[in-house]
Amino acid sequence: MQDSATFWDKAADKYAKSPIADEAAYAYTLERTRTYLSAGDNILEVGCGTGSTALLLAGDVGRITASDISSNMISIATEKAKSEGIQNVTFVTAALSDDTLDNGPYDAVLAHNLIHLLDDVPAALRGIHGLLKSDGVFISKTVCLPKSGAPFKFRLLKAIVPLMQWVGKAPYVNFMDTSELESLVTKAGFKIVETGTYPPPSRYIVARKI
């Protein structure tokens, strides 16, 4: 079984070329995210992939540090920033626990499509809490399972993912429902101020550090 960084390094080129699955939902959550950001903010994005979200938000904030465990993803993101002439986004290859991200405290930490890919979600949320300023915001979008009556495709996915992981065709996936995820966010020291599902099964959460 390969590690997550190796999986995403191999997937980077295909990932960069893949269209957004639901452009309307992505645009809506991007606009909601902008309402929590200010022109002088120092932002951290974890699990940035090939950098699309960071680059789209660059004009709304002071500075963004955007990280990913995949060096190939970061190489693609860096080239995109260069070609677009964007200079206030720094892309770094790093895991959430790495000291290279301890350049805060940050006004906001973004984690879009990341939390369900982590094996220790409570530790990750505690780490994010520690990187934020007092009253800073954590904004995430996480694939979640329905509480009950999960569609057949989700039950099938949950059954076959371990085998796909073993042969290197899937990353680790942490199957949580929305109530479990929101409970973990609250226990990590946050107050949830906004939620939504755009589109199902992606849970959008804005939580403020308390």
Percent of the chain with pLDDT over 90: 79
In angstroms, the CA 46 to CA 200 distance is: 22
Task: Note the residue count of the chain.
Answer: 210
The domain that holds 205 is classified in CATH as: 3.40.50.150
Q: Which domain holds residue 38?
A: 4-209
**Beta strand ranges found along the chain (DSSP E):** 42-46, 63-68, 89-93, 106-112, 132-143, 190-197, 202-209
The residues, any chain, with a CB within 8 Å of residue 133's CB and separated by 6 or more, are 104, 105, 106, 107, 209
Q: How confident is the model at residue 156 (pLDDT cuts 50, 70, 90)?
A: low
Give which of 189, 187, 186 is closest to 205, Cα–Cα.
Answer: 186
pLDDT at 171: 81
In angstroms, the CA 28 to CA 42 distance is: 22
Count of structural domains within the chain: 1
Q: How confident is the model at residue 1 (pLDDT cuts 50, 70, 90)?
A: very low
Residue 100 structure tokens: 């290279």
H/E element, 15: helix 4-17
DSSP letter (8 states) at residue 96: T
H/E element, 115: none
Q: How confident is the model at residue 159 (pLDDT cuts 50, 70, 90)?
A: low
DSSP letter (8 states) at residue 19: P
pTM of the model: 0.91
